[in-house]
């Protein structure tokens, strides 16, 4: 299995059992993110020449540059995302929403692989805090059944790992080996 760079820098991951890369984002999502990043960069430059007070020009330019950086972070981070399974927790290495989830908070028996065609009730319907472009969905979503899930999805038409948590939320992951991840969690 692939080794994650987080494993070397985080001593709590020293007992990691495996790393499961998120399926890389596809060309359409990369194109959309790159186009938005270029557009916000162009707007940031244009904001410097607006006929407005200098403080407003600077504020607009800085805000747009921050948005450009965030989009670039999603673009680069989406290609390097992974799930690292440790002895006592799993670590989601995803842009902005990365976190450690204790194994004790995972409903291991209910963890499984799904497809959204066979489990439409688990399909993300409403983004509540996150980013979503065609082929790339990361952040918090309300599912069709009304529950909440943290998602890192790059392949909505493939099998994904569904990891319910004891607090009633879930994690949806487009990992390259969803069956292997679920097996590691059990």
Q: What is the rounded average pLDDT of the residues 33-57?
A: 88
In this prediction, residue 10 carries a pLDDT of 43
Instruction: For residue 85, give the H/E element and its range.
Output: strand 82-85
In this prediction, residue 153 carries a pLDDT of 92
List, for residues 123-160, the tens digit of each pLDDT value: 999 999 988 888 889 999 999 999 999 999 988 889 99
In this prediction, residue 114 carries a pLDDT of 93
In this prediction, residue 26 carries a pLDDT of 81
In this prediction, residue 113 carries a pLDDT of 93
In this prediction, residue 34 carries a pLDDT of 86
Q: Mapping DSSP to helix (H, G, I), strand (E, B) and coil, where does residue 132 land?
A: strand
Cβ atoms of 138 and 153 within 8 Å: the answer is: yes
Say whether pTM exceeds 0.85. Answer: no
List, for residues 69-125, the tens digit of each pLDDT value: 888 888 887 778 889 998 889 999 988 888 999 999 999 889 999 999 999 999 999
How many Cβ atoms sit within 10 Å of the Cβ of residue 35? 12
In this prediction, residue 47 carries a pLDDT of 86
Separation between Cα atoms, residue 96 and residue 138, nearest integer Å:
9
**Per-domain residue ranges for the chain?**
27-78
Is the per-residue pLDDT at 3 higher than 80? no
In this prediction, residue 126 carries a pLDDT of 92
Cβ atoms of 78 and 154 within 8 Å: the answer is: yes
Separation between Cα atoms, residue 111 and residue 171, nearest integer Å:
10
Cα dist. 132→5, 41, 135 in Å?
26, 20, 8
List, for residues 49-58, the tens digit of each pLDDT value: 888 898 998 8
140 vs 10 pLDDT, higher one:
140
Q: Mapping DSSP to helix (H, G, I), strand (E, B) and coil, where does residue 14 land?
A: coil
């Amino acid at each position: 299995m692939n080794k994650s760079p987080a494993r070397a820098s985080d001593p709590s991951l020293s007992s990691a059992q495996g790393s499961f890369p998120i399926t890389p984002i596809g060309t359409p999502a990369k194109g959309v993110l790159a186009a938005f990043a270029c557009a916000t960069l162009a707007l940031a430059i244009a904001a410097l020449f607006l006929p407005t007070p200098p403080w407003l020009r600077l504020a607009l330019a800085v805000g747009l540059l921050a948005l450009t950086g965030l989009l670039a972070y999603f673009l680069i981070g989406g290609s390097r995302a992974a799930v690292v399974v440790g002895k006592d927790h799993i670590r989601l290495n995803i842009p902005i929403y990365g976190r450690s989830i204790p194994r004790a908070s995972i409903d291991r028996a209910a963890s499984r692989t799904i497809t959204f065609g066979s489990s439409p009730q688990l399909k993300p319907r409403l983004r509540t805090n996150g980013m979503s472009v065609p082929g790339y969905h990361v952040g918090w979503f309300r599912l069709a059944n009304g529950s909440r899930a943290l998602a890192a999805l790059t392949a909505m038409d493939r099998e994904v790992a569904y990891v319910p948590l004891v607090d009633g939320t879930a994690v949806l992951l487009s990992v390259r080996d969803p069956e292997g991840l679920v097996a590691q969690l059990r």
